[in-house]
Structure 1
Amino acid sequence: MTILRTIDAEGRRIAPWQLVLRYALLLVMLAVMVGPFLWQLSTSLKGPTEDIYSYPPSFFPGEPTLHNYAEVARIIPVWDYALNSLKVATANVVTNCVGAALAGYALARLSYRGRKAAMLAFILAMLVPVEAIIIAQFTTMRDLGLNNTLIGVLLPGCVGAMNVLLMRNAFLSQPREVEDAAFVDGANVWQRFLWISLPGVKGTLAVVAIFSFMGAWDDFLWPLIVLSDPENFTLTVGLNYLQGTFVQDPRLVAAGTIIAVAPLILLFACLQRYFFRGVGEGAIKG
């Protein structure tokens, strides 16, 4: 009897037990990564009469309800906080996409004195932990009069070093001959950037946009330090008020978590096609 075997991407045959082992490991990783989110979603839908500490734990709510979400909106102005986070995250996406594209193109295509030093500076910037410079950031925002403002939240992360390097690799992966031909035809550097190089890195721009939005939306430490007026709180800082010193309701915390995560899921669902295409744009130099 012939045993059916599967062939992988490299043309090698995979035994059935190896295939089962791979899928088993994938299912374990899926449970580890997605399980906590599904548990939070289940907890957020449980009513006040359900025992969330019962053993064995009940995954599915007995009587699903949206009461916890309404209670979150009653306790804190969650939609105002979400609007503040949306303003910061949207501005962060714009500044990172524009700034990283310009800087990445300059590092990849332009010839000037000090280009290697600039490249080294971006690499070193990635190695410095945020906690090491956060005091300097705070004093800088204070001296500029930007403390307790959304601009003060946005400014330190308006262009990320990682995003610049991603764009640089994407531009380097493009064939140089097309741009050289445009230069011979009389195209200046802005025309070559806008009409030749930039359309070929849309996937990487989507990756930068997703990372920038997630980083700004999920940031908690810096907004907590720079903001003091509750009217300017972002969503992550505002949700912290759902956890009291002596009393807290895990249902409300779970509902607040789902409110904070939902926009990220929606964003990734809309841009996933460009995301997976952009991940490999800078992997191979053409």
Structure 2
Amino acid sequence: MSSDVQLASVYTEEQKEIRIGVRRRSAGSYVLDASLLVLSFLMLSPFLWIISTSLRLPKDSFSLPPAIFPTDFNFNNYAEVFNRVPFADFIGNSLKISLLIVVGHIFISSMAAFAFSRISFPGRNLIFIIFLAGLMIPGQVTIIPQFILISRLGLIDTHWALILPALINPLGIFMIRQMMMTISSTYDEAAYMDGASRMWVFLKVILPMVFPAIAVTSVMTFIANWNDFFRPLIFLNTFEKMTLPLGMTVLTGTFGSGNLSAILAGVTLSLVVPLLFYIFGQKYLVEGITAGGLKL
């Protein structure tokens, strides 16, 4: 009987310790959630201000003290964006250029990564290191030889002037190659023993395994070219061929005298497509970036 009482007391003490631990973990989780909520609000506050200002009346954009939320919702600012500039054409141009760059870049980068990770040839690692050295060269340094080459090819004021130089990016090759290095060579050997060709191994065996790295590279490449302002400013002259970042400068008006609410309405609309791409690829970001640093 005494042993039962002792067991009951021990069981009761364990229950108390578990309850105290649960309470402590719950309190800590509440503090963590509150901290993350505050940080999320601070990070999202610029976007909230952009959306809020895009819905204000133009006269309320510079009111003091500034209001967080608009008092009168004015959706005419979004209509003004399409009335003042061919906004749909700008979106189409940016979407066309960015998607073609992503497709070509993934095709070239994945094949180069396969060569650097799965094919043994003399000087492979040295060539790869020299290739990565291109990451240290700013794009502004190479813009003059690019312009000379593009002009001699007769591609000035065409979208190909933006697409062709952007197809090769050492960062994309590096990320895909690093994930391929984590794949065991037994997959290749088994496929070769079954009579598979090198291209079949690349397309059917290795490429599906590195989809997270491809997704991350695709998102990064798309957003970088979607937001690019410098190269379209150099290569494009015709108003109808301009990309979204370049064409939206018309909304600012002469000496920046444009309607701020309409400008931020255009900015809000320009965020929709990159946001969709990010939502599609965000679950692969951590996996792809982590795998990219496992083996060099």
Calculate the TM-score normalised by the size of structure 2.
Answer: 0.86
How far apart are residue 70 of structure 1 and its match?
0.8
Distance in 2 between the 1:38 and 1:215 partners?
A: 22
Q: Does 1:79 align with 2:88?
A: yes
Structure 2 spans left out of the alignment, 5+ residues: 1-15
Report if aligned partners of 2:106, 2:214 keep a CA contact under 8 Å in 1. Answer: yes
> If each structure's helix is expressed as a fraction of its own residues, which one has the higher value?
2
- Quick one: percent identity of the two aligned structures? 33
After TM superposition, where is structure 1 displaced by more than 4 Å over at least 4 residues in a row?
22-25
Distance in 1 between the 2:67 and 2:247 partners?
A: 29
Deviations 1:33-90 (A, max 9, x none): 32111111111111235x1222332121222232111101111111111111011001
Deviations 1:223-279 (A, max 9, x none): 011111112100110001111233122101101111211101112223333444433
- Stretch moving more, 94-103 or 172-181: 172-181
1:5 match: 24
2:239 match: 230
Report if aligned partners of 2:58, 2:260 keep a CA contact under 8 Å in 1. Answer: no
Secondary structure of the structure 2 residue equivalent to 1:6: helix
1:162 match: 171
Secondary structure of the structure 2 residue equivalent to 1:53: coil
Distance in 2 between the 1:193 and 1:155 partners?
A: 24
Larger radius of gyration: 2
What is the 5 A alignment of 1:120-159? 120-159=129-168
1:182 match: 191
Q: Does 1:67 align with 2:76?
A: yes
1:43 match: 53
Deviations 1:78-105 (A, max 9, x none): 1111111011001011011111111111
Aligned-residue CA RMSD (Å): 2.1
Distance in 1 between the 2:51 and 2:216 partners?
A: 27
Distance in 1 between the 2:182 and 2:148 partners?
A: 40
How far apart are residue 19 of structure 1 and its match?
7.1
Structure 1 spans left out of the alignment, 5+ residues: 8-14
1:211 match: 220
- Stretch moving more, 232-241 or 264-273: 264-273
How many pairs align? Answer: 275
Q: Does 1:263 align with 2:273?
A: yes
Distance in 2 between the 1:270 and 1:66 partners?
A: 28
Q: Partner letter of residue 93 of structure 1?
A: V
Distance in 2 between the 1:268 and 1:124 partners?
A: 28
